[in-house]
Amino acid sequence: MSDPAAPIAAAAGKLGVLLVGLGAVSTTFIAGVAAVRRRLGQPVGSLTQLGVLPGRRYGEARPIRECVSLAGLDDLVFGAWDIFPDNAYEAARTAGVLEPFLLEVLRGELEAVRPWRAVFDRNHVKRLDGPNLKSGGNKRDLAEQVRHDIRRFLGDSGAERVVVLWCASTEVFMQAGPVHQSLAAFERGLDASDPAISPSMIYAYAALMEGVPFANASPNLTLELPALLELACAHRVPIAGKDLKTGQTLLKTIIASGLAARLLGIKGWFSSNLLGNRDGVVLADPGSYKTKEDSKKVVLERLLKPDVYPQLYGDLYHKVQIQYYPPRGDNKESWDSIDLFGWLGYTMQLKINFLCRDSILAAPIVLDLALFLDLAARAGKSGIQEWLAFYFKAPLHAAGVEPEHDLSIQLHQLQDALRELRAVPAAPHDLHD
Ligand SMILES: NC(=O)c1ccc[n+]([C@@H]2O[C@H](COP(=O)([O-])OP(=O)(O)OC[C@H]3O[C@@H](n4cnc5c(N)ncnc54)[C@H](O)[C@@H]3O)[C@@H](O)[C@H]2O)c1
């Protein structure tokens, strides 16, 4: 909620982008920003950098950056937490996404990003362990330490504002329980170190307590808790999630919405993935795998609306497989085998083999989310930012609201939100064509 009459503060000064997890996605994002600043590459895939806001029926399309006040790339400063002490240069080398020669050029800037000790619990990520950990009397204490990190960063970096993004590993599958039902129950759970409070929830709680926007790039439950929604609204903080829509799921939503627009039936959709990065190691654990599988599967059913079109999608068999295969590293390979049917039920097949680069697709989304969440905060928006659904596989949504999964509709929704967030009020015909 925000007051439409209130002026939106300009994005003056530095913006701190604090990343939980300094792995493939985070380092590709930080190094990418550094490379673009030095004109060593283009910010391909980023709406905030390359996108335009169409003027609808009247007026010309104008760059988004000219329509709303966004932090500039030169104003971004970075911080991170990780269970490994490697700085961003070392972590980027380990991730193996960007070429070593580019990392050498950026080495000084990347080495300056050294991760703070992490809140970690092997019960929530079973395939990883690392030495760079916080210790504390209970989970409340750990949350206080994260809050302290945020405040210290603000003081040391000179940043005016910060946003926090969870770009750390996928936690084991969880559902909201009694400790998540209210802020009071959650805080009692922090005091008692309730095992149902995962590390990602502790970071989110800490950020929201500091009035800092939080986005969840992973499929973790994290923000989908009455307790944290209550906190986000009480502290008037914008939040967004969950699970970045990249790679296979991005293509799936593009293709499925096209087939559905033409009312072509779909009987089966078999999706298989090979990935060999650290994310793949984590997903080889059945608990983390289920978290990811659920978020990848929810898309098709919601997009195709089998309740509205039972004759076209009522019998859809949707299967998702993710296999850890080290030789492929971050360069994921996905196959989709789609069994569809047309006029009179005649069958057809469609095969898609996408040789993608996961973190190359994710980095521009992290950038856009950081800048848009900061804009939302300056505009006084709080709670779930449904207009950012464009970026997520399983968009957060208010109770009783069906989230939109169609990419083109999501883009229109995002553009509409940006028209409302324009620093300079638009002419009425521009807002409502
Ligand atoms: N790459 C993509 O396209 C993509 C798309 C959608 C979602 N995601 C999600 O984004 C997240 C990051 O992906 P990635 O490829 O960068 O993975 P990664 O394994 O390379 O990086 C994750 C980092 O998080 C750290 N970590 C784990 N638990 C932590 C904790 N409690 N606190 C601090 N650090 C912690 C790990 O040590 C690791 O360095 C994963 O959850 C993944 O599922 C990625």
CATH, residue 254: 3.30.360.10
SS3 letters across 244-286: ECCHHHHHHHHHHHHHHHCCCEEEEEEEEEEECCHHHHHHCCH
Asked if the structure places residue 1 within a domain, the reply is: no
Task: Give residue 152's domain range.
Answer: 14-244+359-431
Asked if the structure places residue 7 within a domain, the reply is: no
Asked if the structure places residue 146 within a domain, the reply is: yes
Residue (of 374, 399, 396) closest to 385 by Cα position: 396
Structure confidence at residue 51 (pLDDT)? 96
For ligand 1, whether the C-beta of 25 sits within 6 Å is yes
How far does residue 23's CA lie from ligand 1's centre (Å)?
6
- What is the C-alpha separation between 60 and 332, in angstroms, rounded? 39
Q: Residue 99: is it exposed, middle or buried by C-beta count within 10 angstroms (0-12/13-18/19+)?
A: exposed
For ligand 1, whether the C-beta of 31 sits within 6 Å is no
Mutate to test the pocket of ligand 1, among 279, 331, 393 (most ligand atoms within 8 A of CB): 279
For 75-87, how does the pLDDT look when each residue is reduced to its tens digit (9 = 90+)? 999 999 999 999 9
Dihedrals phi, psi of 258, to nearest 5 degrees: -65, -45
Domain identity same for 80 and 27: yes
Structure confidence at residue 430 (pLDDT)? 43
381 CB-near residues (< 8 Å, 6+ apart): 1, 2, 238
Q: Residue 179: is it exposed, middle or buried by C-beta count within 10 angstroms (0-12/13-18/19+)?
A: buried
Asked if the structure places residue 154 within a domain, the reply is: yes
Higher pLDDT, 423 or 352: 352
Token pair belonging to 390: 């464009």
Structure confidence at residue 426 (pLDDT)? 43
How far does residue 19's CA lie from ligand 1's centre (Å)?
10
For ligand 1, whether the C-beta of 365 sits within 6 Å is no
For ligand 1, whether the C-beta of 244 sits within 6 Å is yes
Closest protein CA for atom 38 of ligand 1: 23
**Is-contact 366 408, C-beta < 8 A?**
no
How far does residue 275's CA lie from ligand 1's centre (Å)?
13
pLDDT of 13 over the 50 cut: yes
Structure confidence at residue 315 (pLDDT)? 95
**Is-contact 149 81, C-beta < 8 A?**
yes
How far does residue 341's CA lie from ligand 1's centre (Å)?
38
- What is the C-alpha separation between 331 and 238, in angstroms, rounded? 32
Q: Which atom of ligand 1 is nearest to the CA of 95?
A: 20
How far does residue 424's CA lie from ligand 1's centre (Å)?
38
Domain identity same for 72 and 133: yes
Higher pLDDT, 353 or 331: 353
Domain identity same for 282 and 329: yes
For ligand 1, whether the C-beta of 278 sits within 6 Å is yes
Domain identity same for 156 and 240: yes
| Domain count across the chain | 2
Q: How far is CA 191 from the centre of its chain?
A: 29
- Structural domain ending residue among the three candidates 315, 339, 355: 355
Q: Which atom of ligand 1 is nearest to the CA of 26?
A: 16
For ligand 1, whether the C-beta of 224 sits within 6 Å is no
Q: Which of 32-36, 78-82, 169-173, 326-330 has the lowest mean pLDDT?
A: 326-330
**Is-contact 39 394, C-beta < 8 A?**
no
Domain identity same for 161 and 122: yes
Asked if the structure places residue 256 within a domain, the reply is: yes
- Structural domain ending residue among the three candidates 327, 355, 383: 355
For ligand 1, whether the C-beta of 359 sits within 6 Å is yes
Structure confidence at residue 433 (pLDDT)? 34
Tell me what percent of the residues of the chain surpass a pLDDT of 90. Answer: 80
Q: Which atom of ligand 1 is nearest to the CA of 362?
A: 3
For 21-63, how does the pLDDT look when each residue is reduced to its tens digit (9 = 90+)? 999 999 999 999 999 999 999 999 999 999 999 876 556 789 9
Asked if the structure places residue 426 within a domain, the reply is: yes
How far does residue 203's CA lie from ligand 1's centre (Å)?
14
How far does residue 282's CA lie from ligand 1's centre (Å)?
9
Angle between helices 183-191 and 199-209 (to 10 degrees): 120
Structure confidence at residue 424 (pLDDT)? 45
Query: What pTM, to 2 d.p., does this model score?
Result: 0.94
92 CB-near residues (< 8 Å, 6+ apart): 27, 28, 30, 31, 98, 103, 110
Structure confidence at residue 427 (pLDDT)? 42
For ligand 1, whether the C-beta of 362 sits within 6 Å is yes
Domain identity same for 96 and 214: yes
Structure confidence at residue 400 (pLDDT)? 86
How far does residue 209's CA lie from ligand 1's centre (Å)?
23
How far does residue 219's CA lie from ligand 1's centre (Å)?
10
What is the average pLDDT value for the chain, to the nearest integer?
92
How far does residue 166's CA lie from ligand 1's centre (Å)?
8
Q: Is 215 helix (H, G, I), strand (E, B) or coil?
A: strand
Structure confidence at residue 283 (pLDDT)? 82
Q: Which atom of ligand 1 is nearest to the CA of 120?
A: 31
- Structural domain ending residue among the three candidates 355, 387, 418: 355
Asked if the structure places residue 150 within a domain, the reply is: yes
Domain identity same for 240 and 251: no
Closest protein CA for atom 3 of ligand 1: 358
Domain containing residue 20: CATH number? 3.40.50.720
Asked if the structure places residue 4 within a domain, the reply is: no
Domain identity same for 154 and 268: no
Q: Residue 65: is it exposed, middle or buried by C-beta count within 10 angstroms (0-12/13-18/19+)?
A: middle
Q: Which atom of ligand 1 is nearest to the CA of 170?
A: 41
Domain identity same for 227 and 301: no
Domain identity same for 286 and 425: no
Domain identity same for 149 and 237: yes
Domain identity same for 349 and 425: no
For 211-262, how does the pLDDT look when each residue is reduced to its tens digit (9 = 90+)? 999 999 999 999 999 999 999 999 999 999 999 999 899 999 999 999 999 9
For ligand 1, whether the C-beta of 18 sits within 6 Å is no
Closest protein CA for atom 8 of ligand 1: 218
